[in-house]
Amino acid sequence: MKPNNMTTTHWWKYNALFFAEHILGDKWYPKVFGNTEKKLYKAIDEYITNNPVPDEFKIIELQKGEYTDPIKNPHQPIVFRGAASHWSCMGKWTFDYFAEKHGDDEVTLVNNPGLIKDTDQAYDVVKFRDYIANMRKGSKRYLKFSRIVDELSELRNDFDYTWLRKFRPKGAQNDLNYFFMGGKNTMTPIHDGFAETIFVQIEGTKKWVFYPTNHRLFIGVRPRRYNYFYSDVDPYNLNDPKFPLLKHAKRHEILLHPGDVLFFPSLVWHQVENVTDSIGVAYKFATLKAGFTSSKMLFLCFLLATKPWLINTLLPWKADILQYKKPKNANA
């Protein structure tokens, strides 16, 4: 689906270039199509500047009493305020709880491109209590995509999976939980994921920045043959010359507080920042239909991804986290 402030011709030309870059890679694409891209971006910039239109994307926010069972939208995020406020994890899952109860358990710090801001941070496996102690001293290392909830059944018992699984359609692949813990001001830059996601905010406050899927042109997303996509753009720096079309993107923000639950669909762009020290869990599942509905071009690039190959992506996801693989020289 093209952005409503672009012409069909511009959109088709942009997608042709996007797919060409996916095939040619970042070595050959600039040599073959670099000038063509610059001319197209200039034409798009001029057209949109002279033809502004209303923003159709929004974050749907539901208060208690406005929902019972979960609902989904194929293109819009939905916030369910207080939906998890009565779950066992609330109030129980504190930083002291994990340091004392699970301090000897090991957690994995991942460093995949686009999922961490400081690329000098190395992949690492650390004791949970050591991670929390360093976080309290001001460390900016962000524990993300940890599989500890799926590895420890006692943690899973603190969630209402009867309610969560109502989001999951028949035929969905995988049924996974990813644990997130980070100190104040830690963040994940703009990225997407093929899976649909339900995020449960347990401790602290987290700020989410969303863009609609079809704004990948404006936020400077480049195809890199991963099975996810990301951008190095700063949503608040509208004058960055590396992202000349960012001023046309429509940024949407929402704060999550303890007990809030957030649904967002496949391939929607999001940046996440911990406003305070924060704990949360993402419940994820994937369907081909959801990805195809969200973006046919990103769906095609996902099928043709080589980092990893699709056959690896479709295997059952185990504790060695296929999507976020450790380097070959890392020690287990």
- For 255, phi then psi, to 5°, come to -105, 135
pLDDT tens, position by position, 166-183: 999 988 877 899 999 999
Residues 6+ apart with CB under 8 A from 194: 227, 228, 266, 267, 286, 291, 302, 313
pLDDT, position 122: 54
283 vs 165: CA distance, rounded Å: 9
- Residue 85: count of CB within 10 angstroms of its CB: 14
pLDDT, position 207: 98
CA angle 220, 226, 230 (to 5 degrees): 30
Chunked into runs of 10 residues, the chain (332 residues) has average pLDDT values of 91 97 94 97 96 89 95 96 97 96 92 66 82 94 92 93 94 88 95 95 98 96 91 94 94 97 97 98 94 95 86 53 44 38
Q: pTM (2 decimals)?
A: 0.90
Maximal C-alpha separation, the chain: 60
230 vs 83: CA distance, rounded Å: 30
Of 269, 218, 210, 222, give the one whose Cα is nearest residue 245.
Answer: 218
- Residue 69: count of CB within 10 angstroms of its CB: 7
- Residue 163: count of CB within 10 angstroms of its CB: 17
Q: Which CATH number fits domain 56-324: 2.60.120.650, 2.60.40.10, 2.40.10.220, 3.40.50.620?
A: 2.60.120.650
> For residues 323 and 228, is the Cβ–Cβ distance under 8 A?
yes
pLDDT tens, position by position, 46-77: 999 998 888 889 999 999 999 999 999 999 99
Q: Put residue 15 in one of left, alpha, beta given phi > 0 → left and psi -120 to 50 → alpha.
A: alpha
